[in-house]
Amino acid sequence: MTSIGLRHDGCAIVGLNKRVVLWELDDCFDTLAEIEPDLPHNRLNEGCVALDGSFWVGTMPPCFIMTEGMPAAGRWHFRWNLHGD
């Protein structure tokens, strides 16, 4: 788990290694987005809840494959409204 944002309805939006999911605080995760399937080594790095209730996450490649000219982080961002609407 890289990040978590709590929703008003008691559920959470969670950033996992390669996907963003809805978690109803049970054993199940419902996938909302698969992250960068064209870049299989990239993973979610961290996330936060913005003032408007949206959930932002960034990605990064693993350190062992970083090369010159490659972005270090923040190549992709996901926005999901935590209010549930």
Residue 35 pLDDT: 85
Positions in the chain short of pLDDT 70: 63-85
**pLDDT score for 16:** 92
> Is the CB of residue 67 less than 8 Å from the CB of residue 12?
no
Q: Report pLDDT for 80.
A: 59
For residue 10, what pLDDT is reported? 87
Identify the residue whose tokens are 């698969």: 34
pTM for this structure? 0.73
